[in-house]
Every structure is written in C-alpha cells, then in structure tokens.
Structure 1
Amino acid sequence: MNFRGFSIPLLSLVLFLTLLQGLPLLAETPEEKGLRIAQLNESKNDGFKGEYAEMVMVLINAHGDKVERKMTTKTRETNDDGDQSISVFLWPADVKGTKMLTWTHKDDDDDQWLYMPALKRVKRISSRNKSGAFMGSEFAYEDLGSQEVEKYHHKFIEETTLDGREIWKMERVPTSKKSGYSKQITYVDKEYHQPLRIEYFDRKGDLMKIATFRDYREMGDFWRVHEIDMDNVQTKKRSIITWSTREIGKKYSEYDFESDSLVN
C-alpha cells in the first residue's frame, strides 16, 4: 500500500528519523537549554554596529528625595569581543564632564576607566570594585557592560508570562569570583530577546535588587528599552534611567574608545 507516494516501510523510516531528530532537544538539560536560549538572544542582538543615546538618570533615596543627572552614551560593537561604551555626564555641575569607558570582554574581567574632571586624570577601575555603585546609583559597574553569554553559567527554569508577555525564566550565575552577585534570575521576552525583569542576589544569596525594563521600541531589526528602574530592596533606594534618544547603526573609530580619548 502507498500513502501519497510513500510505501509503508519508507513512511515508517521517515517518521522514525523525524522523531530521532527531536530527541536531542527533548533530552536537553536545563543548563543546555539555558545556554542555547542565551546564545539565541545574543545572536538576535548582534549587528547593530554602533549606538548613540541620550538619557536622564534619577537617583531616589529611601526618603523619596530625587537627584537628576543627564548623560550621553556611545556604544561600539566589536568583532571578536564584547562591546565598548563611553558615558559622559552633562549635568548637573558637580558631575559635568565625568566620563566612564567600558571594554566588555567575553572571557575576562571587563576593563573600565573613569575620568574625573576635578582631578583631570583617568582612573582605572579595579576588577575588585566591579560591585561598587556607579556614580552613587543603584547600578553597579558590572551592570553597565554588555552581558556576554560567556560571563555566566546559564540554566533554564520555565516558559511563562510576565505582564502578558511570553518569556523565558532563566537563572544565570556569574563565572567571575569578583562579581557582587551570587546569581541573577532573568525574565527574557521571547519577541524582544531582551529582559523584562532581572532579580539580583547578593553574595549571601539574598535578593538585593530588581531591575524592571519598560517601554521597548522597535528600531530596525532590534528592540531597545527606553526605561530601566533599578530598585534596591535592601536599602530602599532606586535609580531610574530614561532614554530620550537612541540611534543605532552609528559608525565610530577605535580611537573614540581609547582611555586617552577621555581627557579630550
């Protein structure tokens, strides 16, 4: 007997091979699936070349008092390593001209430099200080670089929803012993391939802070967040970054991201 051109033995073989092809995915460990999803998300965000952004960062203390700071950021995508970025504070006067340069690496600790105009010199940030607060905010220095897949051990938890969006819930553990976090729980949007929420746990394993990512906008082939709310549940302090401008596809030279360029 034939079934639309297939003999019964041949049809059985086709069905067997189809099922066999699906076995590796069915047999994935949570760690393997977590790594595969993390690599997928990273690949979906490759190719933007460069980005320019203007934003406002608001610091809110435990009493609700606010301090506002304006800044710009340039980001350069590299071919063989992590992204490079430079942030410049424009306002208020006490931080105006302060610059921070970050070279993110896939396998090694990031390189970071801070230029303080009052001192007129560039200070290299020690990898031991990555967990320190960036300019008094709830964002740590290690939060500011690109989140390369190789910097974490990944583990898939579940597929679920958050605020009506389909997401992957994942755990990632920093590979660096100098990290200020024992682990992070990420809620990654399946369409944006970007996080909607990240929960950060301190070295003791206690929940330290929660980042909420809002107002994603489609920019060509990419989705970009326009507000991040970092809420420190231990200190009751918050820091909110809001983007007014984001432009991708920018072209920058390597010199723009050299530490010597910070003094110019």
Structure 2
Amino acid sequence: MRKILDYRYTLVLLTVLMVFTVSFSATAINGREVMERVEDRKSGETQHALLGMDLIDQEGNVRARVVEIWSQENKNNLRESVMVFHEPASIEGTRFLQIENKNSDDDQWIYLPDLGRVRRIAGGQGSDSFMGTDFTYDDLKSRDINDFKYELLREEKFNGYQTYVVEAVPKNPAAEQYAKTISWVTKKHYIPIKLEMYDKESQKLYKVMTVNSEIQKIDGIWTAFSATMENLETGHSTRLYIQQRGGNYLLEYNKNIDDSRFTQQFLRTGR
C-alpha cells in the first residue's frame, strides 16, 4: 500500500519544514499527479533539525518553545521520527515518538516527565491538540495517497510562486478529521506552501498553514525555514522555524542516526 506523508504537512514538516527536491517539469497535470510528485520528492534518508515553536494567542502573546527532531526511513522504508522538547523548563524532557506502519495507522507514544512513563496515543485522541499547538495528533500521521480523491482546481501565483491548487477529499470521511483540504503546491519545487483545512461539521475553513519563508536550496535540497499554522476558530496559531545552535542553523540531512533513538527505551531515558 502506497502511503504519502500527509500533504497537510505532518511530523516531517516539523522535522525540516520541509526538505524537498524534485526532478519534474511543470507540465499540465491533474490533481492526483501533483500530489504524487509531492510524495515522490526526495528529502534525504535522514533529517535532523532544531526548531523554534511559538504558540501565539489571539492577543499576540507568545509562548516560545525549542524542540529537536530526528527522522529517518527504517529498513522497511517506513518513516520513524522522534521529538525532544528542550525549552521551556516546564516541558523540558518531553519526548514524542511516531513510527509509520504499512497497512495501518502510525504508532505514536509520548513521554511526559511529570508522569515518568511512556503513554501510547490512542486512536480516539487523534483530534486532540499536540502539546498545546494548533496541530493535532492526526495532523502528524502519514496518509495513504489512495484514500483521497484529488482535483486540480486552478493554477495561480501565491507569495511569488507559481502554484497548482489541489483539492483533496477523503474517500471515507469517517476516517479523517477534515472534510477536505486544499493545497497550493509550487510548480518549481512541488512544495505545498499553503494548506487549507475544512471542518467536517460546518464545512467551513477551519485551519490554514502557510510557509512564510523563502524556499532555499541547502546542500542540494530545497528547504523552507518557517511555517505557521493558524486556527481560525480560536485565533490561536503556531509558528515553526529553524533555530540556531552554536551560531549556526541546525538543519542537516543524510547523517547517521542510531536506530536506538526511535524506541520507547529512548523515550523513557533520553538515551
């Protein structure tokens, strides 16, 4: 079964905001083909990044966080990712692990220092907020590209980029948290730089995520350094951006990562 990293952006968005290369020409294609090219982009075998994560309320007050993320494809060509929160002190040491499965939902676990144990995220918690952000646990999961119907709505310029605008509607609405999503995908990079998510009950626009940095090539890989997810109902938003460590932006690809990092043992001990 072919799976696509969630076109709404997922944990891998949080990993590198994102990492993309493409080798396609911008010829006339349909909606399904656009999303296949998003899925088929190369992003390196491993990714490691330090991110700022700002939680912004409707008055503009900011709660700043710092999180470090490692991600790789395992020997089964499935994605596994781990996140470690470093700041603020109130959530320091919180760790989150996600492992993609071939024929079922991704497995997710979280370690909360106050509880001192690893807790599995149950399927019924998919719509819950992830660590107080505007992302849910379901937002982080991978999706099967065949579970959606795609339509190329139009082509237009957005934030200086020529884009394809693609609507995705789930074939089984009960299995998804949104009625539909609409993606603005760059023709040059096949990067979704804007995503709209529509509420299942009201059918109204619910959340919007926008890449708000230039797309640059880092080590031969197209990279966006910042993105914001906004909840239109609450006025709350979450801003993600690459952070510096030792005076340099910490963002690296294809570096060896010990497999033991992607285990519940690492969640419990941090090593």
Same fold (TM over 0.5): yes
From 243, 250, 255, the equivalent of 2:255 is: 250
Q: Where does the alignment leave 5 or more consecutive residues of structure 2 unmatched? A: 1-26, 244-249
Q: Look up the equivalent residue of 1:159 and give its one-letter code.
A: E
The AA in structure 1 aligned to 2:33 is R
Q: Would you say the 8 A contact 1:115–1:122 is kept in 2?
A: yes
SS in 2 for 1:57: strand
Residue 37 of structure 2: SS of its match in structure 1? Answer: helix
Q: Deviations over 1:50-83 (max 9, x none)?
A: 0100011111112222111111000112464542
State the shift of 1:94 in Å.
0.9
Counterpart residue number, 1:9: none
Equivalences for residues 118-197 of structure 1 within 5 A: 118-146=114-142, 149-150=145-146, 152-174=148-170, 177-197=174-194
State the distance in 1 between where 2:36 and 2:88 align. Answer: 39
The structure-2 alpha-carbon separation of the partners of 1:167 and 1:232, relative to structure 1 and needing over 3 Å to count, comes to same
Q: TM-score, normalised by structure 2?
A: 0.79
Report sequence identity in percent.
27
Distance of aligned partners of 1:153 and 1:126 in 2 relative to their CA distance in 1, 3 Å threshold: farther
Task: Tell me the distance in 1 between the aligned counterparts of 2:101 and 2:220.
Answer: 24
**Residue in structure 2 matched with residue 69 of structure 1 by the alignment:** 65
2:204 is matched with which residue? 206
TM-score by length of 1: 0.81
2:222 alignment counterpart: 223
Max radius of gyration: which structure? 1
Give the 3-state SS of the residue equivalent to 2:188 in structure 1. coil
Alpha-carbon shift at residue 148 of structure 1 (Å): 5.4
Give the corresponding residue for 2:236: 237
Separation in structure 2 between the aligned mates of residue 143 and residue 226 of structure 1, nearest angstrom: 19
Deviation at 1:121, TM superposition (A): 0.5
Question: Structure 2 CA distance, aligned partners of 1:136 and 1:230?
Answer: 12
d(CA) in 1 for partners of 2:141, 2:218:
21
Which deviates more, 92-101 or 159-168?
A: 159-168
> Number of aligned pairs?
234
Structure 1 SS opposite 2:190: coil
Other-structure match for 1:114? 110
The alignment partner of 1:142 has SS state of: helix
**Residues 81 and 105 of structure 1 are in contact (CA less than 8 Å); yes or no, is this contact kept in structure 2?**
no
Cα distance in 2 between the residues matched to 1:88 and 1:145? 18
Q: Give the Cα–Cα distance (whole angstroms) in 1 for the partners of residues 87 and 189 of structure 2.
A: 32
| CA displacement, residues 33-65 of structure 1 (integer Å, 9 cap, x when unaligned) | 22222112221235x110100011111112222
The one-character-per-residue Cα deviations of 1:199-233 (angstroms, maximum 9, x if unpaired) are 01111221111001122221234222211111111
Residue-by-residue CA offset, 1:5-58 (whole Å, 9 max, x unaligned): xxxxxxxxxxxxxxxxxxxx99x8xxxx22222112221235x11010001111
Q: 2:262 matched to 1:263?
A: no
More displaced stretch, 169-178 vs 85-94: 169-178
Work out the CA distance in 1 between the residues paired with 2:102 and 2:169.
15
CA RMSD in angstroms comes to: 2.2
Distance change >3 Å, CA 94–CA 112, structure 1 → 2: same
CA-CA distance at 1:190 after TM superposition: 1.3
What is the match of residue 19 of structure 1?
A: none
